[in-house]
Amino acid sequence: MDQAGIIRDLLSWLEGHLDQPLSLDNVAAKAGYSKWHLQRMFKDVTGHAIGAYIRARRLSKSAVALRLTARPILDIALQYRFDSQQTFTRAFKKQFSLTPALYRRSPDWSSFGMRPPLRLGEFTLPKHEFITLPPHSAAWRDPELYL
């Protein structure tokens, strides 16, 4: 399997395990690579650091939970593996520019800060085709027309 295929499978696995403990050690063990090699491969394929991606996805899922449920903020923070409400609030505000409480109470639901799951290989560019354009002749225009 190529690197993109390995990372595609890993992304799918990560998405289903965001509410479980995910250390770099157990993610690397799941992928079957060293931590160093997995981080490099993930960054090469996705353009994101694996830890930052996991944190952004957890915060995005917690943002949805804040808007759609009345569960206490601490419960949501703990579900998505944050050590405390303070740690969660600091990370949430950094990503969404609002505290979790203000985000929950805001009248509109902005997608600003949301990190959707990466989907590798689902979107392909159209096949390119080279064409030759006919020679272009410039038409002379009298500059006095524009005065």
pLDDT, tens digit, 9 for 90 and up, residues 68-88: 999 999 999 999 999 999 999
Half-sphere exposure of 79 (CA within 13 A, CB side): 16
DSSP code, position 5: H
- Give the pLDDT band (50/70/90) at residue 124: low
Q: What are phi and psi of 146, to 5 degrees?
A: -100, 5
Q: Which residue has the tokens 């944050």?
A: 82
If pLDDT is split at 50, 70 and 90, which confidence band does 143 have? low
- Residue 49 predicted with pLDDT over 90: yes
- Residue 147 is predicted with a pLDDT of 61
Q: What is the chain's length?
A: 147
In CATH terms, the superfamily for domain 3-105 is Homeodomain-like (1.10.10.60)
